[in-house]
Chain A
Amino acid sequence: MTKRIRSKIARGSADLAILSLLEEQPLYGFEIARQISERTGGALKFTLASLYPLLYEMEKRGWVQARWQANAAGRDRRYYRLTATGRRQLAPLRQEWRSFFQALDDLSGVSHA
């Protein structure tokens, strides 16, 4: 597998993970990283360096919108919220991944379930 394909897969899965999480509720960077790690049992992990360029890119594309607001502890954090454009991205992205895993499953018996 070339580096380009690998990075595209990584990028696609990261987009899906972040957008899916933000579909549930607005979150700030640290919470996004923490919840992804927790909910995937540590299989997916984002460092600060890998997370923020992605979030900023999504913001630039208009998929998410960020706003400073106080968290539960009263500290100002930059919360990311899924926009209508981002929501529209999510459905085809999910379908793409379903097809990808289905193809892998058909090929090698590796099931995503």
Chain B
Amino acid sequence: MPDWKKLVQRRMTAPKLGDGLKEEVTAELAAHMEEIYEEARAKGLRPKAAMRVALQEVESWSDLSRDIGITRSTEDAMTHRTKTLWLPLIAILFVIGLALVLLDRAPALQQLIWTACMALLFCAAASEANNLNERTKRLWLPGFASMTAAGLFFLAASIVSDPSRFTSEIGLRPQSLRVESGPGRTFYISWVAAHILFGAVGAYMSRRAGGTRTARILAGMFPALAMFFICGIVIPISAFAGHNLFVERHPTTLLLGMMIWAGIPGIALLAGAAPFLNQTRPEHRAVVAG
């Protein structure tokens, strides 16, 4: 059996295509040639003759490369909505958010702005799904969906659980939340419980895009991985670099924080992702059968 991918790769010279698109186009054309070859073989043709039949499908590879380069080029491929809506909104929010950070003002508003930025970025990426490479579709986009959902939920729950604190600009940073208190505990339990759903969202989207089991796990657990990075790396480094006396005296609080904000939500995310980790994709079969 000829290596159709290599054969197409060698012949396709579409400079306008990015690596991700080129890989996808190559895979698609190679699959088509493979089926023509197999069909010819099934009709009783010898391998060489079957190969000739498949190769006859393309008279000029340079013409095909040019045509595909024009139609699938990422240049000017950004959708109208992304250009006119999502990107300007993100830019405006980013400038406002950055200004608030630099001025060290309104932390609650900052949280609102960064969450909105994250949601808008997801909307922009989702509307550009056709232009994204496979890894982005199978890992980053689902992971980002899971994280955006977690961010939005955290924001909503923060406002609902303590609106006065939110409006008085005290801020809602994770470390300021007292888990042992009554409202804090309710908040935390509902937040962790919701992570089952977020994990399911990430893993489902990854599976739908054809992601491997590893990609589905990573996509589902994305929010916990992000929190692990913050709680396990960023905060300890900044605390020790800044000689935070409390952390230096009680280093175990870092471990506790990591467990509360990354470990337990991570388990919930994994539980949500679990039903989507099997390799079969029943929804695909249903479509094909239909």
Contact = CB atoms under 8 A, between A and B. Distances in A.
B58 interface: yes
Interface in B10-64: 24-25, 27-29, 31-33, 35-36, 56-60, 63-64
B57 A49 contact: yes
Interface stretch (B173-181, B229-237, B281-289): B281-289
B91 interface: no
Given A56-B72, A70-B284, A75-B31, A49 B36 contact: no
A48 interface: yes
Interface string A27-63: 0111001000000000000011100110011011000
A105 to B, nearest CB: 34
Contacts of A66: 130
B193 interface: no
A70 B288 contact: yes
Contacts of A65: 130
Q: How many residues of A sit at the interface, in one of the four size bands?
A: 20 to 34
A65 B31 CA distance: 18
Contacts of A77: 31
Given A60-B71, A70-B285, A70-B288, A52 B28 contact: yes
Interface residues of B, number: 35
Contact of A30 (B35, B289, B290): B35
B162 to A, nearest CB: 43
A15 to B, nearest CB: 14
B71 A71 contact: no
A76 B130 CA distance: 17
Contacts of A48: 29, 32-33, 36, 57-58, 64
Q: By CB atoms of chain B within 10 A, which of A48, A70, A76, A77 has the most?
A: A48
20 contacts: A26-B287, A29-B31, A30-B36, A33-B32, A47-B57, A47-B59, A49-B57, A49-B64, A49-B67, A53-B64, A53-B71, A56-B71, A69-B210, A69-B281, A69-B287, A70-B285, A72-B288, A72-B289, A78-B24, A79-B287
